[in-house]
Structure 1
Amino acid sequence: MENQFSNMDIENILKETPEAYNVFQKMPLSHRNEYIKWINEAKKQETKERRLEKMISMLLDKINKEKMYKTSFKISKMDCPCEVQMIKMKLAELQNIHSMEFSIDNRLLIVFHSGNYQQIFQHLKSLQLDTSLIDSSAADDYSKTNDTNERVLLWRVLYINFFFFILEMATGFLSGSMGLIADSLDMLADSLVYGLALLAVGTSIIYKKRIAKIAGYFQIFLAIIGLVEVIKRFIGSESIPHFQTMAFVSLLALIGNALCLYLLQKNKSQEAHMQASMIFTSNDVIINIGVIIASGLVYLTNSKSPDLIIGAIVFCIVWQGAIKILKLSK
């Protein structure tokens, strides 16, 4: 009968590899006994030794998988909080991510994770936001951040966006402005993304993807209706929109978007402060400014064309946003 390895024998051998020994010692006794039984079940002594070597290799692999890494990505097309939430939802599928830090002004994402970064990289590339790897290194000084306020923050920005969706939609119809109606749908698009981010907390990936698909197709449907209405108004003899209402409501929406950006960035790491350059590169803010300019052109030209042009542009942006949401459902 071949010699059997005892618990003491295994420990003495593992002491030659301190990292593997430490992992073995932290295991429950039942797990350690299973390893020993597996080794002793080998028919020959040389096979037992091979199994012991394999066990050491598995213990070292376990260390590598649990080791924390810090990987930085450049995401060139990440220019607003809406895209931040899309990235979070996409990466929620991965179990090895411990936390993330975003800097919109620097187009930077830092991911703290265990194991390899390749799967994270592939998920980011699938969003087509022009993602590139900056570097990846061991995060020996990692400490988990407190994200308990994030859900409350998401509800706040969702309320702000949904409020302006209702306000702009109502005033858009009353003033006859397609620019305001289109901007209201852009606000709705942001609300859908924040809502999806909230749904992703505590729900299954399949459920989240199903909701994302419904939201994406609904948004495309609204964008098509809007573009058709713009064409009809170009051809028809619609009245000139009320430019004062356009300007005033768009200014309020601009303030609302700036507030959302401020709240989201204030909650992040200290290096990601609120900066004017970040605000004015946000698509939402650019849209608000576009509607304000269009209202001035409506007044100066006494024509409905500026309002219809900005409306068509925004409906196209809403369409693009819907495509991004649909990518999350794949």
Structure 2
Amino acid sequence: MTCCQHDSCDARPLADTGAHRRVLWLVLAINLVIFGGEFGVGWVASSSAVQGDSLDSLGDALVYGISLLVVGRSLRARAMSALTKGALQVAFAVVVMAEVVYRLSHGVPPATALMSLAAAGALVLNGACLALLTRYRADDINMHSVWQCSRNDVIGNAGVLVTSGLIAWTGWWWLDLIFGAALAALFLKTGWSVIRAAVPMVRTSAA
């Protein structure tokens, strides 16, 4: 069980709001860079997996911005922040699935070399983000939810690398669509888990 699922952990004060702000600003900037690079490459490469991954980075940048607004604030503010992040994850799941359906109907094979290049670069940067956030993941629901987003990024980047390699080896371009759908499912699962953890806290803090 994660810390954000226990009331005693959620209600405790933040350990170091200054450190939280510094790390959130840094990972926000990194994710904006990743989004710009991956979205452009995903568009050129006609890859649902890469474009879905880029949207996740944009969503994370928004998440980190929201998290910065609530660092050091009340439990209710932090719970509302987590609730918003969960909703964003669900929304991005819908967007990625729509992209998968579009690619499926048009039958455009992705450019695997560009997919691999984008995923490798993003994996390095997101790995750095995950390392930066890991030490703060148990501080409260706000920091735990941003850590979850970063973890999903690393999983997504690794998956895109594997997918691009398999497509290059087998020629089965539809693997890109399968991974894009799997990525959407991961967004949906993460978003729903964050929402489920945040809703009781919002209700409790409002009582």
TM-score after normalising by structure 1: 0.48
Q: CA deviation at 1:198?
A: 1.7
Amino acid at match of 1:166: G
Alignment of 1:60-99 (within 5 A): 75=1, 87=4, 94=11, 97-98=12-13
Q: CA deviation at 1:307?
A: 0.8
Amino acid at match of 2:117: F
Aligned length: 185
2:127 aligned to which of 242, 258, 261:
258
Give unmatched runs, 5+ long, in structure 2.
138-150, 203-207
Q: Name the SS for the 2:107 alignment partner.
A: coil
Instruction: Tell whether 2:33 aligns with 1:163.
Output: yes
CA contact 1:189–1:321 (8 Å) conserved in 2: no
CA contact 2:20–2:71 (8 Å) conserved in 1: no
CA contact 1:290–1:310 (8 Å) conserved in 2: yes
Q: CA deviation at 1:231?
A: 2.8
Give the distance between the partners of 1:152 and 1:165, measured in 2 at CA: 20
Q: Name the SS for the 1:229 alignment partner.
A: helix
Give unmatched runs, 5+ long, in structure 1.
1-74, 79-83, 101-145, 269-281
CA contact 1:240–1:302 (8 Å) conserved in 2: no
**More strand, by proportion:** 1
Q: CA deviation at 1:209?
A: 4.4
Structure 2 residue aligned with 1:174: 44
Give the distance between the partners of 2:98 and 2:136, measured in 1 at CA: 40
Give the distance between the partners of 2:31 and 2:154, measured in 1 at CA: 13
Structure 2 residue aligned with 1:248: 117
Q: Name the SS for the 2:155 alignment partner.
A: helix
Give the distance between the partners of 1:215 and 1:148, measured in 2 at CA: 21
Amino-acid identity (%)? 31
Structure 1 residue aligned with 2:142: none
Structure 1 residue aligned with 2:194: 325
Deviations 1:235-272 (A, max 9, x none): x232211111100010011101221133335789xxxx
**More helix, by proportion:** 2
- State the structure with more CA Rg: 1
Q: CA deviation at 1:179?
A: 0.5
Instruction: Tell whether 2:83 aligns with 1:222.
Output: no
CA contact 1:189–1:318 (8 Å) conserved in 2: no
Q: Name the SS for the 1:224 alignment partner.
A: helix
Amino acid at match of 1:312: A
Q: CA deviation at 1:302?
A: 2.5
Give the distance between the partners of 2:86 and 2:17, measured in 1 at CA: 28
CA contact 1:223–1:319 (8 Å) conserved in 2: yes
TM-score after normalising by structure 2: 0.73
